[in-house]
């Protein structure tokens, strides 16, 4: 993808979705790069490396979006995850 965005004149890809979820009913499921912290981290790392050196990458959304029900384009989703749960799951692909 790095070469593709470079040919389009873009130097930063804001489209690497680092959220994780294994819930097929979640809004972000089809866009997430993983269903577990480990698979998400591996796929996100591969996406970022695959864009180098042609483009810089940013990760989206906020870690935890994949655990929060609802469409963030239509409201503000939230989750009841504890900080420790968040560190062990949703934060991993963003590290």
The per-residue pLDDT string of the chain (95 residues; one tens digit each, 9 = 90 and over) reads 888 989 999 999 998 999 999 999 998 999 999 999 999 999 999 999 999 999 999 999 888 888 998 888 899 989 999 999 999 999 999 99
Domain range for 48 is 2-94
Q: Per the structure block, which two tokens stand in for 36?
A: 């577990």
What pLDDT score was predicted for residue 41?
A: 97
Per-residue pLDDT, 7: 93
Q: Structure tokens of 50? A: 């695959």
pTM of the model: 0.85
| SS3 category, 37 | helix
What's the domain count of the chain? 1
Please give the pLDDT value at position 39.
Answer: 97
């Amino acid at each position: 993808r790095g070469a593709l965005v470079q040919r389009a004149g873009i130097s930063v890809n804001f489209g690497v979705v680092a959220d994780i979820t294994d819930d097929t009913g979640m809004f972000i499921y089809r866009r997430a790069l993983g269903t577990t912290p480990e698979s998400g981290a591996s796929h996100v790392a591969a996406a970022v490396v695959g864009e180098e050196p042609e483009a810089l990458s940013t990760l989206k959304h906020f870690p935890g979006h994949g655990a929060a029900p609802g469409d963030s384009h239509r409201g503000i989703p939230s989750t009841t995850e504890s900080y420790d749960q968040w560190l062990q799951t949703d934060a991993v692909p963003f590290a």
